Amino acid sequence: MTHAVVDPTTTSAWRALEVDAERIRATSLAEMFADDPGRAASLTYEVAGITVDLSKNLVDGQVMTHLIELARATGVAERRSAMFSGEPINTSEDRKVLHVALRVPPGEKLVVDGHDVAADVAEVLGAMGQFTDAVRSGAWIGATGERLTTIVNIGIGGSYLGPMMAAQALRRDTMTGLEARFIANVDGAEAAIALAGLDPARTLVVVSSKTFTTLETMTNARLVRRWITDALGEEAVARHMVAVSTNAEAVVAFGIDPKSMFGFWDFVGGRYSMDSAIGLSTMLLIGRESFAQMLAGFHEIDRHFATASLEVNLPILLGLLRVWYSGFLGAQSLGVMPYSSDLGRLPAYLQQLEMESNGKGVTRDGRVVSTDTGPIVWGEPGTDGQHSFYQLLHQGTRLVPVDLIGVLKPMSEHRSSHDLLTANLIAQAEALAFGRSAEEVAASGVPAHQVPFRTFPGNRPSTLILLDELTPFSLGALVALYEHEVFTQGAVWGIDSFDQWGVELGKALATTVAEELVGEGAVDHDSSTAAAIARYRAARARWA
């Protein structure tokens, strides 16, 4: 079924929000809290062990009502239903979008076009589980008979960012004696660092590439293959390298046993794949039971997103806030600030999820969009971020909405440190919202000439996201929350959030340039590109 694309700027809800924006600019969060004692309670939501406080955002009840009307006018609920039912909502590639199938509970079905997709997923999960059990128990050993103690994950983009983020977030759930290292960048220095100090005889390599042709991934895979065979011989590849791919022929040609290949599907985009076979390294680290708990967390949010009304549907509300800031208040970026070192790679993971999904300039039917789309996502963990870029957040001239993410349960025995960490999290949200007036600064005894410099205007929006604890379940729920708010944005803007053609051009040109860098003939480029190639050729000649 084809769903017509509605230009959001032509709707009555959009026009109402334009009026709302003028009103919001003329007021402040301080005034909104003063006028509504129940504001925090009415704008706080809880689901799957996550509490989300939206009250420090630049919205009031009227804005929220009009945002919901915008969601209805642009068919967000209908597009949501189309995704869950298996319609090919990735229109530019005519593909289904079924990452939600990856976390259907055991025993449940998800029938699409007469086929139970959930059964296919369960089969792969079962194979992953059996392999995981064998490695963790020591039944699967290396070529020299030793246990495997280090997992090297080779991938790029979604084949790397999700597993790496999960490895750090769930490091307390990792089996003692196992560690993971990650190689993504085609820069050989990254591979050298990842392999430093490792024993090939005790190393398992997971090569993740759907086609088994991805240039960066396969370049690194061949490098690591040589590292293994130089030490252990050709026959060792079958014991030390496994593949996450759908190209059995290429996997076999590489030397990996096809029985050690774990598949996935074209209805799962890379940035939505950390809970597929791409998560094999995650499962190896935390075990199949904990991986199942992570899938359950994903599914809990899936169920909420699929069934809750728009007015209380947390992913939809979060997505609509992104649309509000981008389309009406001029915000160009979104800060993600986890107050947890374990979640330190979450901003990088969300950069791909948000920007590869919604960094689009045309609608699903090929027309130029009529409003700004996806925000620029960035961030670092607190409290170290407070000593670098928070200056701009508090006193700069740009509006930057931020997600402040915390974990209530301490993750170390250093409870006083956790108290201080959480105090900073909560205080930053308060300081961003309410600031400090010139009168307050002057009354504190600050010298008069410093008052302008020590005044904080406030009215800087933030969303406070609190996890009860950081577990596989809550990590899955948190990621799914972001997945579906990304979906909501794209549905409102009328764009295809599930293709990624924008990554292709530079990679295609790089193939040509790579050949020219080691050649001697004339090149056909602009003068700047040609000069860079000549400079590299000259430098390369000096290395010989």
The residues annotated with a catalytic role in the active site are 356, 387, 507
> What length is written for the chain?
544
Three-state SS annotation for 81-104:
HHHHCCCCCECCCCECCCHHHHHC
Q: Taking each helix axis as running N to C, give the angle between helix 188-195 and helix 215-232, from 0 to 180 degrees, rounded to the nearest 10.
A: 40
Three-class SS of residue 158? helix
> From CA 132, how far away is CA 50, in angstroms rounded?
29
* Burial environment of residue 153 by CB neighbours within 10 A (0 to 12, 13 to 18, 19 or more): buried
Distances in whole angstroms, Cα of residue 189 to Cα of each of 164, 192, 216, 409, 514: 18, 5, 13, 38, 18
Look up residue 283 and give its two tokens: 């499962």
| Contact call for residues 333 and 350 (beta carbons, < 8 A) | no
* Burial environment of residue 417 by CB neighbours within 10 A (0 to 12, 13 to 18, 19 or more): exposed
> From CA 155, how far away is CA 115, in angstroms rounded?
30
H/E element holding 407? strand 402-407
Task: State the CB neighbour count (10 A cutoff) for residue 340.
Answer: 21
> From CA 97, how far away is CA 269, in angstroms rounded?
8
Residues near 102 by beta carbon (within 8 Å), at least 6 away in sequence? 121, 268, 273, 275, 276, 295, 298
Look at residues 33, 16, 40, 281 and name the one whose alpha carbon lies nearest to residue 148: 281
Task: State the CB neighbour count (10 A cutoff) for residue 49.
Answer: 17
DSSP 287-320: -HHHHHHHHHHHHHHHHHHHHS-GGG-HHHHHHH
Look up residue 121 and give its two tokens: 């997923």
Q: In this structure, are strands 150-154 and 111-112 parallel, antiparallel, or unpaired?
A: unpaired
Look up residue 333 and give its two tokens: 């970026």
